[in-house]
Amino acid sequence: MGSKPKTRFVVEFDGALRELLSVRELPDRSLVVLSRFEQWAVDLESGEETLRESERYSVHMSPQSTGTTLKRTVTLADGRAITSVYFVKDSKNSLLSHLYTKACPILSNRYDLRIREKDALVKIGAFSRGDFTTFIFTVLVGDATRTFPNLRDHSLVTFAFGHFEIAIYSSYLNLPATDNSVTITGATAPKRVNGIATGVRTSDGKPSIDPTDLPSLVLDSQQLCAANLVVRMVEMLPADLGKLLLDVPLWFYPDTTALAQGRLHRGI
């Protein structure tokens, strides 16, 4: 039996399509989201540098409750499987939640597009090395009838599945990409390593996002990604250059044309 078709979300980078994530819908209408990733990554909580083999998210209705479970699983080369769960209470009929936000690195051949005949392609951006930008995107999940608003300084792409809808808000940061990326996600339960909890559960879940809070959630998560990215860049630079970088204000733009115009207007 062949692989089930996927919806592949791509950007055009230096004239070639690069895949950032793909989504596969299962027979029970759950979603599996496969995120392209860098082999080496630094855990934001522990500071540990790890070699990764896979990164995936799942979105499914919880059969024994009225909620929705969002789960992230990162498999490491040393055999560890690190999972985090975000449970959205009372969301089977009305769901709006953040899945993850990512500041992309320079898109190497690890992001090359490998498409099958029945796969769907959804383009969410276009840029080149000459744009000197970092592409940042936020993935949200809602119920299939959800309407996502346009946000200032961001582009929006949506795709509806049987029970869920995926929305991606993207922007272009006024700093060039490096070999590093940053991913921000949430959890309502302690992280598990090979099924063993690393802490004590302190929450039974959280409600869906209030739609009026959506603009600030997207902006806050992208600002947090950008700030962590700057910290990593500063650590790699000589002290005097790092100090100059810390003084650069961070701006987000909906496309590369607005990015170029913004640089001219702000003199940055």
146-156: average pLDDT: 96
Q: How many domains does the chain have?
A: 1
CA 216 centroid distance within chain? 16
Residue at 164 is within a domain: yes
**In the predicted model, is pLDDT for residue 50 greater than 80?**
no
Closest CA to 260 of 160, 132, 89, 109: 132
**In the predicted model, is pLDDT for residue 234 greater than 90?**
no
Location of structure tokens 């190497």:
108
Share the mean pLDDT of the chain: 89
CA 258 centroid distance within chain? 22
**In the predicted model, is pLDDT for residue 52 greater than 80?**
no
Cα 149 from Cα 156, distance rounded (Å):
8
Residue at 1 is within a domain: no
Percentage of residues in the chain with pLDDT exceeding 90? Answer: 60
Residue at 131 is within a domain: yes
Percentage of residues in the chain with pLDDT exceeding 70? Answer: 93
pTM score? 0.92
127-155: average pLDDT: 96
Q: Which of 74-78, 117-121, 147-151 has the lowest mean pLDDT?
A: 74-78
152-159: average pLDDT: 96
Tens digits of residue pLDDT in 206-232: 999 999 999 999 999 999 999 988 888
| Residue-number span of the structural domain to which 108 is assigned | 7-266
Residue at 2 is within a domain: no
Confidence of residue 48 (pLDDT cuts 50, 70, 90): low
Strand partners, 126: 12
Residue at 193 is within a domain: yes
- For residue 56, give every residue at least 6 positions away whose Cβ sits within 8 Å of its Cβ, in sequence order, or none: 32, 33, 34, 35, 72, 73
The per-residue pLDDT for 17 is: 96
Tens digits of residue pLDDT in 90-137: 998 899 999 999 999 999 888 999 889 899 999 999 999 999 999 999
The per-residue pLDDT for 1 is: 45
- For residue 110, give every residue at least 6 positions away whose Cβ sits within 8 Å of its Cβ, in sequence order, or none: 36, 37, 38, 39
